[in-house]
């Protein structure tokens, strides 16, 4: 009997010790810090790092994410990585109408702010603060930024600028209110109602048509300038070719004239040489003619006939009659 009582007491003590140990050990997740509160000392200034900690059975620990977390505001389940999800987009006013924004907001709690948050929000942990207050504050603050931009700015060409403005504005608000840093607020998608979409599309089409017309104009000017440049170069080339041809013709004419001159001079020289030779031959012949040789030549050429006509002065007598 005594043994059973002792064993029972030992079991009770062991169970109590185990319970004490279990309630005294708290876990802080990776990327989080833990804020410790005890009834005796209240909120401790020193936070707990990720891991297991022995804090006592009466201590309470609340965790706050100090690594980057994300909140998704969207009506597209795929943005949550799910097939179905509640519609949670942001209806934001803009200059010219309303837009539906699908966004992601990346945030983290600031390590040096979490103890004050614990005290301010009566021991709420980081997740509870975000779900009950921060998310609604983000929606409200986004709606304070978007009216600075037109629907077209948000829908098309200034989406990155809008996202930057939202990020800066959220940081200015949430750092002081909740000790939260916003690393980025990104616009995933912008949706419009049918009437506004048609209006934007018409405006966008007009813009594209104007840009195309301007591009066509610049292209036509560029083509005309190119054609003018080609025509100018062609004319210069033709002029250059004509000058070369004229110079060639001139040189050819000069060569032909020189050839004719040389030929004429050659012919004249030949005639002169021939005439001089003939004159020299005649001179030699003349020098060789003596009265005796002339007389002899005359007799050599006589055929023995008496001249049929003789006469002196004005009287001519035909002796054959």
- Give the CATH number for residue 103: 3.30.479.30
Give pLDDT tens digits for 141-154.
999 999 999 998 99
pLDDT at 190: 92
Q: Decide if 106 contacts 69 (C-beta within 8 A).
A: yes
pLDDT at 147: 96
Residues 98 and 179 occupy one common structural domain: yes
How many other C-beta atoms lie within 10 A of the C-beta of residue 167?
18
Residues 187 and 226 occupy one common structural domain: no
Confidence of residue 118 (pLDDT cuts 50, 70, 90): confident
Q: Is residue 246 part of a domain?
A: no
Say yes or no to pLDDT of 182 above 80: yes
Give pLDDT tens digits for 17-64.
444 445 567 787 787 877 777 767 677 777 777 778 767 677 788 888
How many other C-beta atoms lie within 10 A of the C-beta of residue 163?
18
CA-CA distances (angstroms) from residue 76 to 82, 100, 127, 134, 135? 9, 12, 23, 21, 18
Q: Is residue 306 part of a domain?
A: no
Higher pLDDT pick, 59 / 126: 126
Residues 106 and 156 occupy one common structural domain: yes
Give pLDDT tens digits for 213-226.
898 899 889 888 88
The percentage of residues in the chain with a pLDDT greater than 70, rounded to a whole number, is 79
**Domain tally for the chain?**
2
Q: Is residue 156 part of a domain?
A: yes
Residues 206 and 144 occupy one common structural domain: no
pLDDT at 254: 84
pLDDT at 89: 94
Q: Is residue 259 part of a domain?
A: no
Say yes or no to pLDDT of 80 above 70: yes
String of DSSP letters for 2-70? HHHHHHHHHHHHHHHHHHHHHHHEEEE-TTEEEEEEETTTEE-SSPBPSEEEE--TT-EEEEEE-S-EE
pLDDT at 266: 82
Dihedral of the CA atoms 132, 136, 138, 143 (nearest 10)? 180
Q: Which domain holds residue 73?
A: 69-192
Give pLDDT tens digits for 2-12.
655 565 555 55
Say yes or no to pLDDT of 86 above 80: yes
Mean pLDDT within 87-97: 92
pLDDT at 103: 96
| Most confidently modeled range among 123-137, 183-197, 283-297 | 123-137
Give pLDDT tens digits for 155-171.
888 999 999 999 999 99
Mean pLDDT within 284-304: 68
Three-state DSSP at 198 gives helix
- Cα 243 from chain centroid (whole Å): 46
Q: Is residue 264 part of a domain?
A: no
**Token pair 């931009």: residue:** 149
Q: Is the pTM of this model over 0.85?
A: no
Structure tokens at 148: 């600075």
Q: Is 234 exposed, middle or buried (0-12, 13-18, 19+ CB in 10 A)?
A: exposed
pLDDT at 309: 59
Q: Is 74 exposed, middle or buried (0-12, 13-18, 19+ CB in 10 A)?
A: buried
Residues 108 and 142 occupy one common structural domain: yes
Mean pLDDT within 276-284: 78
Pairing between β-strand 42-43 and β-strand 32-38 as defined by DSSP bridges: antiparallel
Higher pLDDT pick, 33 / 179: 179
């Amino acid at each position: 009997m005594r043994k059973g009582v002792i064993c029972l007491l030992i079991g009770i003590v062991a169970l109590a010790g185990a319970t004490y140990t279990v309630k005294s050990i708290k876990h802080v997740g990776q990327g989080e810090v833990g804020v410790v509160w005890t009834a005796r000392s209240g909120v401790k200034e020193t936070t707990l790092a990720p891991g297991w900690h022995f804090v006592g059975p009466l201590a309470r620990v609340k965790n706050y994410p100090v690594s980057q977390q994300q909140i998704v505001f969207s009506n597209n389940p795929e943005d949550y990585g799910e097939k179905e999800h509640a519609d949670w987009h942001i209806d934001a006013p803009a200059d010219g109408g309303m837009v539906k924004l699908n966004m992601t907001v990346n945030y983290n709690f600031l390590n040096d702010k979490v103890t004050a948050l614990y005290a301010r929000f009566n021991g709420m942990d980081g997740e509870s603060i975000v779900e009950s207050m921060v998310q609604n504050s983000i929606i409200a603050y986004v709606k304070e930024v978007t009216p600075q931009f037109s629907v077209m700015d948000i829908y098309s060409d200034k989406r990155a600028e809008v996202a930057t403005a939202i990020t800066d504005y959220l940081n200015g608000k949430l750092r002081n209110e909740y000790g939260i840093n916003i690393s980025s607020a990104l616009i995933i998608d912008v949706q419009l109602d049918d009437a506004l979409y048609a209006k934007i599309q018409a405006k966008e089409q007009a813009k594209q048509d104007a840009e195309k017309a301007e591009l066509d104009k610049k292209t036509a000017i560029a083509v005309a300038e190119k054609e003018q440049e080609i025509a100018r170069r062609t004319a210069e080339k033709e002029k250059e070719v004509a000058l070369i041809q004229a110079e060639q013709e001139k040189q050819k004419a000069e060569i032909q004239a020189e050839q004719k001159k040389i030929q004429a001079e050659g012919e004249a020289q030949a005639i002169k040489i021939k005439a001089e030779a003939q004159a020299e031959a005649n001179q030699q012949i003349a020098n060789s003619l003596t009265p005796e040789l002339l007389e002899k030549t005359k007799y050599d050429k006589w055929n023995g006939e008496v001249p049929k006509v003789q006469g002196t002065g004005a009287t001519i007598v035909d002796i054959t009659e």
